[in-house]
Amino acid sequence: MVNRKVVGAHYGLRDWLVQRVTAVIMLVYGIAVAAFVLFASGASFEAWQALFACTWVKVLTTVTIVALLWHAWVGTRDIWMDYAYHTGVRLTLHVLTILWLVASFVYSVKVVWGA
Amino acid sequence: MTTRTVKFSIYRFDPEKDAKPYMKDYTVELDSTDRKLLDALVKLKVVDDAISFRRSCREGVCGSDAMNINGKNGLACVTDIDTLKQPIQIRPLPGLPVVRDLIVDMTQFFKQYHSIKPYVINDTPAPDRERLQSPEDREELNGLYECILCACCSTSCPSFWWNPDKFVGPAGLLAAYRFIADTRDTATNERLDNLEDPYRLFRCHSIMNCVDVCPKELNPTKAIGKIKDLMVKRIA
């Protein structure tokens, strides 16, 4: 294969936008949870458990976890693009990152939605 | 005439003679008219005429004498010597191949600059006289057209260090926005297409080293942000 520098993948904007939107989701969720811990719960385990028994809290938590993992994907992929120059090595790192993030998501579902 | 002594530590490398680069110490006597770093370097050349560096206009317009001064990129001709901590460490611009001493090979930098087509593209029939702009439209080009292509910004950008062959770099992207913002240019979509790439544009993570070092006090990060805004506007 000829050794040409190739650029022009025509993507990047969506990831850049996703990184910003997911950051806002995490920020809002983080502030809400911090406010609950500081002001509403008296910081007791029972109050925390009661909060996470609500379906809407579970849904919002899962949405935030998806935001976190998507955000982590864009950021980690950026690091591999910056520092891993060999295409095969970079693709392998990309795949391993995706597997790790998907596994993290599955485990988070078990934690949030499990009994 | 009052004189003063200034100490230097200068990066030296002659690929024909030296196995690897080294720092060499110098002391130079300056008189009261020697105010800028370039004045001192010119005096230094009398002490050691083998020291190589580029310089031309000596007033911050040509962009030839960009170098790394005490760890920060800048133009020797507009940097006051008395503001610098001694010994003044002078190195070539980081991230580009060194030709000799303080002279770097700018090929990659200019390749990226040319890749954004730095000229007005307009396929409509040329008017009898020049293509006009309103004063408001012209205003948008301020802070963009003044770039002197000294490469201080791009060579202070880690994203350009890691991917100089793929990332356009702050200087090139500032120039790209200069033509995207120009109302006389009709290739806006093609220009945005050309930049929509994870490497060409989106290697910029807005760390603003470029803004910090620009000797013309321009703001490539802001221009890059405006390119991204236009891309969002295009799809949203």
pLDDT digits (tens, 9 = 90+) for A53-105: 999 999 999 999 999 999 999 999 999 999 999 999 999 999 999 999 999 99
Question: How many domains are contained in chain A?
Answer: 1
pLDDT at A115 over 70: no
Q: What is the pLDDT of residue A41?
A: 65
- Count A/B contacts: CB-CB distance under 8 Å: 45
What average pLDDT score do residues B96-107 get? 96
Residue B15 Cα to chain centre, angstroms? 24
List the CATH number of the domain containing A38: 1.20.1300.10
Q: What is the pLDDT of residue A5?
A: 76
Name which of B30, B26, B41 is nearest B2 in CA terms.
B30
Q: Say if A75 falls within a structural domain.
A: yes
Q: What is the pLDDT of residue B84?
A: 95
Q: Say if A32 falls within a structural domain.
A: yes
Q: What is the pLDDT of residue B1?
A: 64
Instruction: State the Cα–Cα distance between residues B121 and A93, nearest whole angstrom.
Output: 41
Per-residue DSSP letters for B160-217? HHH-TTT--HHHHHHHHHHHHS-TT---HHHHHHHH-STTTTTT-----HHHHH-TT-
Domain that holds residue A17: 13-113
Name which of B34, B103, B43 is nearest B67 in CA terms.
B103
Identify the residue among A13, A20, A73 best suited for mutation to test binding to B, counting B beta carbons within 10 A and taking the highest: A13
Cβ <8 Å between A9 and B194? no
Name which of B228, B22, B131 is nearest B9 in CA terms.
B22
Q: What is the pLDDT of residue B119?
A: 97
pLDDT at B186 over 80: yes
B→A contacts (Cβ < 8 Å), by residue, are 158-159, 162-163, 165-166, 193-194, 196-203, 205, 228, 231-232, 235
Q: Say if A8 falls within a structural domain.
A: no
Q: What would the pLDDT profile of A16-54 be if each residue is shown by its tens digit? A: 999 999 999 999 999 999 998 888 767 788 888 888 999
Q: What is the pLDDT of residue B37?
A: 96
Name which of B232, B13, B38, B50 is nearest A14 in CA terms.
B232
Of the listed ranges A41-45, B19-23, B97-101, the least confidently predicted one is A41-45
Cβ <8 Å between A13 and B231? yes
Cβ <8 Å between A81 and B199? yes
Q: Say if A5 falls within a structural domain.
A: no
Among A11, A13, A15, beta carbon nearest to B232? A13
pTM of the full structure: 0.91
Q: What would the pLDDT profile of B145-170 be if each residue is shown by its tens digit? A: 999 999 999 999 999 999 999 999 99
Determine which helix (DSSP H) or strand (DSSP E) holds B27, and give its type and residue range. strand B22-31
Cβ <8 Å between A5 and B165? yes
Q: Angle formed by the axes of helices B169-180 and B107-115, to 10°?
A: 20
Counting Cβ atoms within 10 Å, is residue B219 exposed (0-12), middle (13-18) or buried (19+)?
middle
Counting Cβ atoms within 10 Å, is residue B88 exposed (0-12), middle (13-18) or buried (19+)?
buried
Using DSSP, state whether A83 is helix, strand or coil.
helix
pLDDT at B112 over 70: yes
Q: Say if A92 falls within a structural domain.
A: yes
CA distance B217 to chain A (A): 27
Instruction: State the Cα–Cα distance between residues A75 and A69, nearest whole angstrom.
Output: 10
